[in-house]
Amino acid sequence: MATRILAVANQKGGVGKTTTVINLAACLGELGKRVLVIDLDPQANSTSGLGLPRQTGTSLYRVLLRERSVHGLVQKTVAENVDIIPSELDLAGAEIDVARMDGYLHGLNMAIAPLVRGGGYDFIIIDCPPSLGVLTMNALTAANSLLLPIQCEYYALEGLSVIAHIIKQLREGRANPTIDIQGIVMTMYDARTRLSPDVVAEVKSHFGEKVYKTVIPRNIRLSEAPSFGRPVSQYDPHCTGAIAYRELAKEVIARELAEHPAAGAIP
């Protein structure tokens, strides 16, 4: 299978991007897929959530500034088959410094090209910060597709037209003519409320088949696991959150194979 690059993005904060990156990556790894997580958020939550301590000089910052290569930045995580390029606070400076470079939208794309060519990964999953700044735009330029987490809450649809418009612009402006929304994952579903099913129905009425069948429940285990530096599949393998992310991983694989049957060829 050729490497598929998924950007997990939504400019809204706290919708479950990082939780999805950590746990989707771990579940894909459990299923035997080789995964690289790229933590592009200066908050570094997926870095710590996958068991890595805070370190300096280990993020993509200097690579994006073309001061060094990506070589040597990939580290192992606590999850089987899952590597990471960690983040640290210095990435916050990238929003300003990288924007000064020529062709800055393509910085990440160029930086990770050797890893894509190397063919060592089935999936590269990028955790984006909660903005549509330079880092997220770099992720969307490098990605084959967008994985969009949406929280089951009242204002769920607010702002979605903005990111949908950006995807359209990237395609038409030729910065990334093949990017698509790979899927929408509904997060923090609470079966005890009327609101959650209503929100899912409304998102489906707009995005139809793009919405994954798997819905991620609100599950306290998912919020506890990061403080132990573990994906939920290790922290509590049988909880509802772990089961849901395992299902999502299968759905992501099935969708990728359905849409890219020629997987295996590197363009």
Ligand X SMILES: Nc1ncnc2c1ncn2[C@@H]1O[C@H](COP(=O)(O)OP(=O)(O)OP(=O)(O)O)[C@@H](O)[C@H]1O
Using CB under 6 A, list all residues that contact ligand X: 13-19, 41, 43, 45, 130, 187-188, 216, 218-219, 222-223, 241
Token readout for 87 is 């983040």
Q: 205, 180 in Cβ contact below 8 A? A: no
Name residues whose C-beta falls within 8 Å of residue 126's C-beta, 6 or more positions apart in sequence.
5, 6, 7, 8, 9, 21, 37, 38, 40, 108, 139, 142, 143
Residue 18 sits in the site that holds Mg ion (CB under 5 A)? yes
Choosing among Mg ion, ligand X, none, which partner's interface includes residue 15 (Cβ < 5 to 8 Å by kind)?
ligand X
Provide the minimum distance between the beta carbon of 44 and ligand X in the complex, in angstroms, as a whole number. Answer: 10
Report the residue number, 45 or 136, with the smaller CB distance to Mg ion: 45
Can residue 151 be called a binding residue for Mg ion (CB under 5 A)? no
Residue 173 interaction partner, one of ligand X, Mg ion, none, beta carbon < 5-8 Å per kind: none
Q: Which does 161 bind (CB under 5 to 8 A by kind): Mg ion, ligand X, none?
A: none
Q: Which CB atom, from 116 or from 203, has the smaller least distance to ligand X?
A: 203
Segments of the chain assigned E as strands: 4-8, 35-39, 75-76, 82-85, 123-127, 145-151, 180-187
From residue 20 to residue 49, the character string flagging contacts with Mg ion as x (rule: CB under 5 A) and all else as - is -------------------------x----
* Per CB under 5 A, 17 contacts Mg ion: yes
Nearest-approach distance from CB 217 to ligand X, in angstroms: 6
Contact 197, 163 (CB under 8 A): no
- Taking a C-beta distance cutoff of 8 angstroms, is the pair 64, 41 a contact? no
- Burial readout 43-68 (b: 16 or more C-beta within 10 A, e: otherwise): bbbbbbbbbbeeeeebbbbbbbbeee
Write down the least CB distance from residue 207 to Mg ion, Å: 22
Query: Can you give the binding site for Mg ion, defined by CB under 5 A?
Result: 17-18, 45
